[in-house]
Homo-oligomer: A and B are copies of this chain.
Amino acid sequence: MTTQTIVTAAMLAIGDELLSGRTKDKNIGHLADILTLSGIDLKEVRIVADEEGAIVEALNALRSRYTYIFTSGGIGPTHDDITADAVSAAFGVPCLHDPAAMTLLGDMYAKRGMEFTEARKRMARMPQGAGHIANPVSTAPGFTIGNVFVMAGVPQVFQAMLDAVIPTLDTGTRMLSRAIPCPFGEGDIGTPLSEIQKAHPETSIGSYPKYDGKAFSTEIVVRARSEAVLEPAAEAVFAMVETIKAAKIAQNTSAEA
C-alpha cells in the first residue's frame, strides 16, 4: 500500500463570447489534458459572463473547495475586461496598477515607439499583492493571488501562461489510464462491465459511447493511481470484450447453419 496524494483543481472560464456561441472554448480541454498529465485532478469547470457579480461568486465558491483555480479571459485593455477587478473584489483587496507590470509594459511600448495609453495601462492592473504570470507571447502578464491563477483567454497566450505556472505547482499521484476499444454498444457490455467495476473497487471504469452515423461503439477506460491496481482490471475488461466477440461469432455461425 503506497501513499497517494490528491491535488485538485477547478477552472473558471470568463466571457460573454463563450456563452453566446461566438467563440468555441479551446482552453478547457487543453487545461484538462495538461493537469491530467501533471497529476492534478480537474474536478469542476464553470463558464460565466463578463459580469463582476457572477465572477466573484463562482471564484469564491471554487477557491474554497479546490487546491488550485485557473481562470481564462477578461484581462485585456478594453472596457469589457473586468477580471482583475472581479478577482480583487473576491479577495477583498484593491485593484491597482502594479508597478512592476507598468515598467514591463511601459518599456515594451517605448521600444516599439508606441504610446502607453490609458487602455494599455489597464493590462497592468491586478489585485494588490498579486504575483506575475509571465507572458512570452505578448508581454502583458497574468497574475496569481492565493490559490488562483488568472490567465488570458486567447489560447496561444493561455497555453504559454499555463506552461509557466505548471512547474510551480504541487502535484499528486498521477491518475493512470488504459483505454480498451470495444466494437459493441454500451447495451452489450453494461452488465459484465458493472461486475468488473465491483470486483475492482479501487479503479474507476468509464465507458464512452461513440456514434459513427450508423452504429455505436464504445471506448472503455480504466483509471487508477497505480499500475498494480490498474493492470488486473484492464485485463478483465479486455477479456470481457473478447468473450463478447466470441459469443457474437458463435451466434452468427449458428444462425447461418
Residues of A within 8 A of B (CB): 16-25, 28-36, 41-50, 54, 76-81, 114, 117-120, 122-123, 137-138, 153-154, 156-157, 175, 177, 179, 186-187, 189-191, 193-194, 197, 204-211, 213, 216, 221, 223
Give the dominant DSSP class at A's interface.
mixed
Are A46's CB and B45's CB within 8 A? Answer: yes
A229 to chain B, nearest CB (A): 17
Complex Cα–Cα for A137 and B123 (A): 49
Given contacts A46-B44, A46-B46, A47-B45, contact A190 B221 (CB under 8 A): no
User: A212 — nearest CB in chain B belongs to which residue?
Assistant: B156
Interchain CB contact (< 8 A) of A76 among B25, B36, B209: B209
Complex Cα–Cα for A184 and B231 (A): 54
Q: How many copies does the complex hold?
A: 2
Chain B residues closer than 8 Å to A197, beta-carbon distance: 79-80
Are A211's CB and B32's CB within 8 A? Answer: no
A209 to chain B, nearest CB (A): 5
Chain B residues closer than 8 Å to A34, beta-carbon distance: 21
Given contacts A19-B45, A29-B21, contact A118 B191 (CB under 8 A): yes
